[in-house]
């Protein structure tokens, strides 16, 4: 029901349900639909998404109008968002049953600006991962977001159109798409370079090449901490020339040394032991007897210890007998 020419009020739940039904219907015809889905209250979470939205909001031409598209985006009204070099095409569900077509054209990045940005990244950019994650020095971020010389587009570089009947220069459908681009940059920051037609591979290659070249230059310079050979010889009082000559001595010029041949001692030939004739089950018994007849090393040691003990006991007895004789002789 309309009052005084104003449209009927539609709740947020009804807007979301209408957008979901339309998206399901269009997806059957075009499976390549890419809707913008916002989870939570924040539209952008990463550095690239926030920088995109902040760049649009800081211009007076957009600040009063772009905010109208936030609610549309949160309600899921951006059913499709396709980003190509220098162009953004989208479908936005409005109050009518048919979605509105939105086209935004953005001028590609000027070669001079792109060259200056690549030069600025030589000493500050560490890796490709840090670039996409937005983890780089603040100074580099200021270069990217600079109004006149940065990568983000100014209002004069953006042109847009919408199929809705709204007479405003920037309608809420266009505003929702611009915010949708910021949300899409959270998912894949490489899209931003694609939109501005700037080859991100060139930026990484040049940065890595310049860093490698500087490292090679540093490696070619002789450090002041390296001590010269003359200084070492004067400090320690040694002549390094002889040592160097001995180290660089050609082994082929040295006289061949005589090889000492070690003659292995031939093992003593053992006399063949006569095998006793055994009958049947007495074979094992005979082998044990033969093994027992050959004295082992331990047995020889024991015999030597026993002999030594006997000699000691004999001597002790003799000594005792002599002492007893001496005592009896005294008495």
Contact 5/40 with Cβ under 8 angstroms?
no
pLDDT the model gives residue 262: 45
Question: Do 109 and 17 reside in the same domain of the chain?
Answer: yes
Please tell me which residue, 90 or 237, carries the higher pLDDT value: 90
Question: Do 318 and 207 reside in the same domain of the chain?
Answer: no
pLDDT the model gives residue 266: 47
Last residue of a domain, one of 188, 217, 246: 217
Question: Do 180 and 53 reside in the same domain of the chain?
Answer: yes
pLDDT the model gives residue 258: 52
Last residue of a domain, one of 178, 199, 217: 217
pLDDT the model gives residue 91: 95
Question: Do 326 and 199 reside in the same domain of the chain?
Answer: no
d(CA 36, CA 56): 19
Domain that holds residue 100: 12-217
d(CA 74, CA 16): 9
pLDDT the model gives residue 169: 75
Query: What domain count does the chain have?
Result: 2
Contact 90/163 with Cβ under 8 angstroms?
no
pLDDT tens sequence across 276-309: 444 445 656 555 555 555 556 677 778 887 888 8
232 lies in some domain: no
Largest Cα separation within the chain, whole Å, is 160
Q: Is the dihedral of CA 128, 132, 134, 138 positive or negative?
A: positive
Question: Do 16 and 153 reside in the same domain of the chain?
Answer: yes
For 156, half-sphere exposure in the C-beta direction (CA atoms, 13 angstrom radius) is 3
Last residue of a domain, one of 195, 217, 239: 217
69 closest CA partner among 158, 162, 193, 192: 162
Contact 160/176 with Cβ under 8 angstroms?
no
Contact 87/106 with Cβ under 8 angstroms?
yes
pLDDT band at residue 189 using 50, 70 and 90 as cut-offs = confident
Checking if the pLDDT of 323 tops 70, the result is no
pLDDT the model gives residue 241: 54
pLDDT tens sequence across 29-84: 988 999 999 888 889 888 999 999 988 888 767 777 787 788 899 989 999 999 99
* Bridge partner list, 106: 158
Give how far Cα 155 sits from Cα of 20, 53, 62, 105, Å.
Answer: 32, 13, 8, 11
CA distance from start to end of the chain: 155
316 lies in some domain: yes
Instruction: Give the 3-state secondary structure of residue 82.
Output: strand
Question: Do 164 and 310 reside in the same domain of the chain?
Answer: no
Question: Do 190 and 314 reside in the same domain of the chain?
Answer: no
Question: Do 299 and 158 reside in the same domain of the chain?
Answer: no
144 closest CA partner among 131, 156, 155, 157: 131
pLDDT the model gives residue 182: 92
Question: Do 39 and 172 reside in the same domain of the chain?
Answer: yes
* Bridge partner list, 104: 88, 160
pLDDT the model gives residue 206: 61
pLDDT tens sequence across 136-187: 667 778 888 888 788 899 888 999 999 998 887 789 899 999 999 999 999 8
pTM of the model: 0.59
d(CA 202, CA 122): 12
Dihedrals φ, ψ of 148, to 5°?
-90, -30
279 lies in some domain: no
Instruction: Give the 3-state secondary structure of residue 6.
Output: strand
Q: What is the mean pLDDT of residues 319-329?
A: 63
DSSP class per residue in 241-253 = HHHHHHHT--TTT
pLDDT tens sequence across 238-284: 555 554 444 455 555 555 555 444 444 445 455 555 444 444 456 56
pLDDT tens sequence across 83-139: 999 999 999 998 888 999 999 999 988 888 888 888 877 766 666 677 777 776 677
87 lies in some domain: yes
Instruction: Give the 3-state secondary structure of residue 104.
Output: strand
d(CA 233, CA 59): 71
317 lies in some domain: yes
Question: Do 76 and 195 reside in the same domain of the chain?
Answer: yes
pLDDT the model gives residue 82: 95
298 lies in some domain: yes
DSSP class per residue in 136-199 = S-HHHHHHHH-TTTSSSPPGGGEEEEESS---SSS-HHHHHHHHHHHHHHHH-THHHHHHTT--
Question: Do 18 and 141 reside in the same domain of the chain?
Answer: yes
282 lies in some domain: no
322: buried, middle or exposed (CB in 10 Å: 19+, 13-18, 0-12)?
Answer: exposed
pLDDT the model gives residue 259: 47
Question: Do 204 and 315 reside in the same domain of the chain?
Answer: no
172 lies in some domain: yes
């Amino acid at each position: 029901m309309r009052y005084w020419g104003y449209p009927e009020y539609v709740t947020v739940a009804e807007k979301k349900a209408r957008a979901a039904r339309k998206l399901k219907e269009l997806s059957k015809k075009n499976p390549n639909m890419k809707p913008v889905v916002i989870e939570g209250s924040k539209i952008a979470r990463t550095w690239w998404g926030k920088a995109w939205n902040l760049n649009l909001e800081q211009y007076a031409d957009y600040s009063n109008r772009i905010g109208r598209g936030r609610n549309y985006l949160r309600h899921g009204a951006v059913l499709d968002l396709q980003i190509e070099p220098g162009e953004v095409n989208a479908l936005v569900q409005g109050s009518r049953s048919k979605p509105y077509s939105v086209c935004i054209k953005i001028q590609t990045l000027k070669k001079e600006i792109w060259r200056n940005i690549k030069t600025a990244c030589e000493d500050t950019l560490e890796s490709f991962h840090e670039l996409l994650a937005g983890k780089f020095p603040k100074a580099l971020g200021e270069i990217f977001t600079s109004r006149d010389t940065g990568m983000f587009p100014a209002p004069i570089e953006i042109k847009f159109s919408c199929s809705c009947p709204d007479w405003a220069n920037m309608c809420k459908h266009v505003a929702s798409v611009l915010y949708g681009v910021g949300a899409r940059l959270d998912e894949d920051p490489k899209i931003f370079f694609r939109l501005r037609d700037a080859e991100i591979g060139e930026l990484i290659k040049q940065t890595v090449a310049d860093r490698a070249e500087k490292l090679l230059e540093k490696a070619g310079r002789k450090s002041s901490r390296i001590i010269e050979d003359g200084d070492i010889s004067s400090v320690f009082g040694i002549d390094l020339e002889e040592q160097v000559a001995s180290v660089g001595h050609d082994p082929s010029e040295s006289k061949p040394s005589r090889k000492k041949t070690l003659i292995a001692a031939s093992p003593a030939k053992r006399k063949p032991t006569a095998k006793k004739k055994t009958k049947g089950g007495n074979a094992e018994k005979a082998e044990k007897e033969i093994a027992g007849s050959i004295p082992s090393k331990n047995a020889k040691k024991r015999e030597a210890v026993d002999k030594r003990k006997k000699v000691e006991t004999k001597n002790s007895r003799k000594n005792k007998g002599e002492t007893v004789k001496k005592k009896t002789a005294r008495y």
